[in-house]
Structure 1
Amino acid sequence: MQALSERQKKIAEGLEAATRASQDLELAQQKATDNLREAKEQAQAIIEQATRRATQLIDESKEQARAEGERLKVAAQADIEQEVNRAREVLRAEVATLAVAGAEKILGSHIDNGANDKLVDQLVAEL
């Protein structure tokens, strides 16, 4: 009877241990599921943050490119304006020289260089 009682006790302990193990396994599975869900949520948050940062960098790059383009446009316009002014000055000087040469031919006389330079400067100033 004692052997039978011990046998029943061992079987009951085994069943209890199996029940505890089953509960521990279920708890471990639940914890693993929770950890996996949490890891997925963190990964999604990281992906969203990276996407926002990438969009921000793209927007910043676009703005920098736009600003650089505008700066280059302004610089090019300034260069063009300087070249136009230089061309006007050269043209004025040439027109003045031609006017003096034409006046010399019309007058039939030669004007001295000092007077010529003075006349050219006056014409350039007037043009």
Structure 2
Amino acid sequence: MAPQNMPAISIDINMFWQIINFFILIVVFNKYFKHPLRRIIRERQSKIAGELEDAKKDKQAAKDAREEAEEILKKARMEAHNIISLSEKKADERKEEILKEATTQRDKILKSAEVEVGKMKARAREVIREEMQTLAVQLAEKIITEKLDSKAGDILVDDFIDKVGDAE
């Protein structure tokens, strides 16, 4: 047997009908399905584009909101710092007030104590003077009674009375 040469492409009747069916299928597809599919694809494209635009807007809104929140936080920190500074200043002022008040009270107490000490000194001097006078009178009486008989005693009594009179 001799080998038979087969053509590279052989078209038989089945292949012919398949090609014709394929072209008919393309025509039917173009006529009935092409426009609805294009419409669906366009709708999806526009929907996707809208969603992308919305996403960009949302992203920008989120960025703006974040910046606003950071600004609010910054302001809140500054306000808290100002409040703390003001509180510290008020505390220092109150401390100074309390110190001045305490100093004033201390000065008043010291002055009243000095006045009281002065009064006590005056009273003590008065008491001492009275006691000295009493002692002087007692001493004078004793001296007088002991030396009443002698003339020298009279001179002594007169000298003592003169001295006591000068002291007063």
Q: Smaller-chain TM-score range?
A: 0.7 to 0.9
Alpha-carbon separation, structure 1, partners of 2:78 and 2:137: 88
Residues paired across the two proteins, number: 114
Alpha-carbon separation, structure 1, partners of 2:88 and 2:109: 31
Q: CA deviation at 1:100?
A: 1.1
Which structure: larger Rg? 2
Q: Percent identity?
A: 32
Does 2:81 correspond to 1:47? no
List per-residue Cα deviations over 1:51-76 (Å, max 9, x = no partner): 00000011111111111111101111
Does 2:128 correspond to 1:91? yes
Cα separation, partners in 2 of 1:95 and 1:35, compared to 1, 3 Å: same
Alpha-carbon separation, structure 1, partners of 2:129 and 2:74: 82
List per-residue Cα deviations over 1:47-98 (Å, max 9, x = no partner): 0000000000111111111111111011111111111110110110111111
Match of 1:101 in 2: 138
Does 2:60 correspond to 1:23? yes
Alpha-carbon separation, structure 2, partners of 1:124 and 1:91: 17
Alpha-carbon separation, structure 2, partners of 1:16 and 1:124: 122
Q: Structure 2: any 5+ residue segments left out of the alignment?
A: 1-37, 149-163
Pick 1 or 2: higher relative contact order, CA cutoff 8 A, min separation 6: 1
Q: So what's the TM-score if we normalise by structure 1?
A: 0.85
Q: Structure 1: any 5+ residue segments left out of the alignment?
A: 110-122
1:74 aligned to which of 111, 131, 134 = 111
Runs of 4 or more above 3 Å deviation = 123-127
Q: So what's the TM-score if we normalise by structure 2?
A: 0.64
Match of 1:12 in 2: 49
Structure having the larger proportion of residues in helix = 1
Alpha-carbon separation, structure 1, partners of 2:45 and 2:133: 130
